[in-house]
Every structure is written in structure tokens, then in C-alpha cells.
């Protein structure tokens, strides 16, 4: 029957106790007795047995555990009595493992490793060094910022288990409210009382132009360069943040482009630019997407870095690892970009 361990803390030395379930009626091959009770042993008894089994000498085992020999011998004897088997054959000249002892040594080592691993994992989670974090992110934040964040997390929080979920901002809001994600990389505005937010990135817009476009002769472009010119525009429903941003910028500058297509994803825009349907205005991070026959030029706007990325999380999420990850995000963001709400 598989062992079932129960860990507890007790005593001045905070010793962990283990309860191992064995068959209700255990017949001892050594003593010829049966027991109707569930045997119980302590992790300290396992440590004494393992040290003795590895040293095959009670004196050296006691020295290794920083204790005297009589208490160690009593712990091993008590363990044998609990199990109802002889684990060690003792003579005046030697100590050797019995067949039962050799088998139990493997299990004892495994139980001790599990106990140590459980304690370490618990301490790491308590101080924010380990745990699970579900992260929502928009497609554009996945070009540069998110990869940098993942690299940094693996270096600084190697025991953090990240789950990445690509979602538009609207979906992330719902996922935060229902607990499906712990943190979101979202576009503003994020006006909900349940959330805390921090701006982690600002970036300029750049023009994506097909090869042969005469505007490539310029080092940089103004919004007026797009007046009455073919432009691939963001969809109002699927990419509302960028649609509203460009509409506001064009209206403020009296510019009326000729919208040839409306799409949701930036990589789809660049594919249509590659096809020669027109130009597109994309965040600077999109330059990391390499399309043949697509070239980029900076665009002068007011403000000069209109694209914003925010981090959002629930105020009532008290996960220590989440706070460690938030601190990491803030470290990745430059001081000029950071804005905490």
C-alpha cells in the first residue's frame, strides 16, 4: 500500500512528524505479532536510520547527526518496533542491512527528500520566490516587452511558473475579474476600482511602407504625409485602442487618409503592406517583425510616444509571487515610462 504522509510542526526543535498508513493488520516476520493500529514514525527516526545505514556504524552516524550514540540507537530500535521488522543486523564487530532494511532505505530517503522539498517550496512561496502566475498579454506586447520580461523572470525568479495567455484587453479584464489570470499587459484606459495599474511602456508610432513608396525618400514622416493616401487601418471593434488613437491624431491634424482595409492584428497589417495595398502606422515594437519589401520610417506625433502599455492586477490578490513579479515588471520599465495608479 502506498504511504500517505502528514507533516506537522511541533516541539522546541520544530520537528516534522510523518504518519505513514500501512495495512491495518501487520504481521511481523521477525516478532510474529500483529497490530490493529496504524504504525507511526517520525522523520527524525528516518534520519537516524538513514545515517546508520549509510555509515554502517552507530558511532559515526551519531557524530554525523551531531548527537550521542545512545539516543540514535533508541530511535532506530523504536523505528524497527513500529515497523515490526529488523532493519539492521548488529554484532559486536559490524552493522549490516537486512533485506528489509535495504528496501526501506530507498523509501526512507525518498520520504526525507519529499519532506525537505515540501519545506523548501513552502518557504519560497511564502517569501515570493516561487509559485504560479497566469499572465495575459496583447499581441503587440508580445513582440519585445513580454519576451524581455520572461527572460528577466527566468533569471530573477527561476522558481516562478509562468502561464502566458494572449488576449485582447477586453478579454483580459474579464479574465482578471474571474481569476483566470493574475496580471494583464493591457491598453488604457483601465478604469475599474478592483484593479491596480502601472504604466510599463510607452513607444512611438512608425510608418510601415512598401518598397518603392516615394515617402521612403524622407528620413521621417509627418501625419500630413498620409492625407488622401492609401492606409491600412485598425478595426474599430477588434483593435479599438489603436483605431481610436489614430482617428484622434488624424482629426487633430486635419488628415483624412484613404482607408483601404480594416484589420485587427498588426502582423496582418504588415502582410497587406508587403502586398502593396498601402501603408500602415504601427507601434515601434512591430519593427521586430521582419517582412520582405516592408520598410519603416519614424512618424512625428504629439505626444511623441503615444502608444502606452499598462500592467493591471486585482488589488485583493495577495500572492507573494505576484508582488515579486510586479516588482520585476517595474524594474524592466524605464523610470520615464512608469506611472502607478
Same domain, 12 and 41: yes
Reply yes or no on whether the pLDDT at 12 is more than 60: no
The pLDDT assigned to 127 comes to 59
Q: Which of 232, 234, 218 is nearest to 296 (CA)?
A: 218
Same domain, 218 and 292: yes
- We report the CATH number of the domain holding residue 263 as 3.40.190.10
Task: Round the average pLDDT of the chain to a whole number and report it.
Answer: 85
pTM: 0.64
- Residues 295 and 211: beta-carbon distance below 8 Å: yes
Q: Which of 167-171, 255-259, 320-324 has the lowest mean pLDDT?
A: 320-324
Let me know if residue 200 belongs to a domain.
Answer: no
**In whole angstroms, what is the distance from residue 173 CA to residue 175 CA?**
5
pLDDT tier, 125 (very low <50, low <70, confident <90, very high otherwise): low
Same domain, 34 and 183: no
Let me know if residue 1 belongs to a domain.
Answer: no
Same domain, 234 and 285: yes
Let me know if residue 271 belongs to a domain.
Answer: yes
**In whole angstroms, what is the distance from residue 86 CA to residue 8 CA?**
27
Half-sphere exposure of residue 246: CA atoms within 13 angstroms, side-chain side: 26
Same domain, 296 and 332: no
Same domain, 30 and 45: yes
Same domain, 119 and 134: no
Q: Please give the grid coordinates belonging to residue 134.
A: 497566469
Same domain, 230 and 144: no
Residue 50, φ and ψ in degrees, nearest 5: -60, -45
Domain count, the chain: 3
Same domain, 287 and 325: no
Same domain, 141 and 215: no
Q: Give the end of a domain, one of 77, 111, 126.
A: 126
Let me know if residue 93 belongs to a domain.
Answer: yes
**In whole angstroms, what is the distance from residue 248 CA to residue 254 CA?**
10
> In this structure, what DSSP letter does residue 166 have?
E
Let me know if residue 283 belongs to a domain.
Answer: yes
Determine the structural domain holding residue 96 and report its residue range. Answer: 8-126
Report the percent of the chain where pLDDT is more than 70. Answer: 84
Let me know if residue 2 belongs to a domain.
Answer: no
Reply yes or no on whether the pLDDT at 300 is more than 90: yes
- We report the CATH number of the domain holding residue 62 as 1.10.10.10
Amino acid at each position: 500500500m502506498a504511504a500517505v504522509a502528514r507533516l506537522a510542526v511541533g516541539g522546541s526543535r520544530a520537528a516534522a512528524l510523518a504518519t505513514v498508513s500501512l495495512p491495518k493488520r501487520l504481521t511481523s516476520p521477525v516478532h510474529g505479532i500483529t497490530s490493529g493500529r496504524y504504525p507511526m514514525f517520525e522523520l527524525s527516526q528516518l534520519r537516524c536510520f538513514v545515517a546508520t545505514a549509510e555509515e554502517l556504524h552507530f558511532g559515526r552516524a551519531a557524530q554525523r547527526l551531531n548527537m550521542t550514540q545512545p539516543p540514535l540507537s533508541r530511535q532506530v530500535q523504536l523505528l524497527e518496533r513500529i515497523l515490526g521488522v529488523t532493519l539492521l543486523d548488529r554484532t559486536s564487530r559490524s552493522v549490516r542491512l537486512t533485506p528489509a532494511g535495504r528496501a526501506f532505505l530507498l523509501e526512507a530517503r525518498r520520504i526525507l527528500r519529499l519532506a525537505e522539498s515540501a519545506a523548501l517550496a513552502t518557504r519560497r512561496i511564502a517569501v515570493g520566490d516561487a509559485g504560479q502566475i497566469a499572465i495575459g498579454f496583447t499581441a503587440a506586447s508580445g513582440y519585445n516587452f513580454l519576451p524581455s520580461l520572461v527572460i528577466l523572470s527566468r533569471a530573477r525568479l527561476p522558481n516562478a511558473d509562468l502561464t502566458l495567455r494572449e488576449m485582447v484587453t477586453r478579454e483580459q479584464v474579464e479574465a482578471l475579474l474571474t481569476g483566470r489570470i493574475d496580471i494583464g499587459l493591457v491598453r488604457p484606459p483601465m478604469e475599474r476600482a478592483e484593479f491596480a495599474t502601472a504604466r510599463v511602456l510607452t513607444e512611438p508610432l512608425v510608418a510601415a511602407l512598401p518598397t518603392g513608396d516615394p515617402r521612403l525618400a524622407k528620413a521621417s514622416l509627418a501625419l500630413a504625409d498620409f492625407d488622401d493616401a492609401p492606409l491600412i487601418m485598425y478595426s474599430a471593434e477588434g483593435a479599438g485602442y489603436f483605431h481610436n488613437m489614430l482617428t484622434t491624431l488624424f482629426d487633430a491634424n486635419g488628415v483624412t487618409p484613404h482607408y483601404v482595409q480594416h484589420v485587427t492584428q498588426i502582423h496582418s497589417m504588415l502582410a497587406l503592406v508587403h502586398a502593396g495595398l498601402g501603408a500602415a502606422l504601427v507601434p515601434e515594437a512591430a519593427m521586430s517583425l521582419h517582412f520582405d519589401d516592408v520598410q519603416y520610417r519614424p512618424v512625428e506625433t504629439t505626444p511623441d510616444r503615444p502608444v502606452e502599455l499598462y500592467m493591471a492586477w486585482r488589488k485583493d490578490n495577495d500572492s507573494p509571487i505576484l508582488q515579486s513579479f510586479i516588482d520585476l515588471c517595474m524594474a524592466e520599465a524605464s523610470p520615464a515610462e512608469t506611472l502607478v495608479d
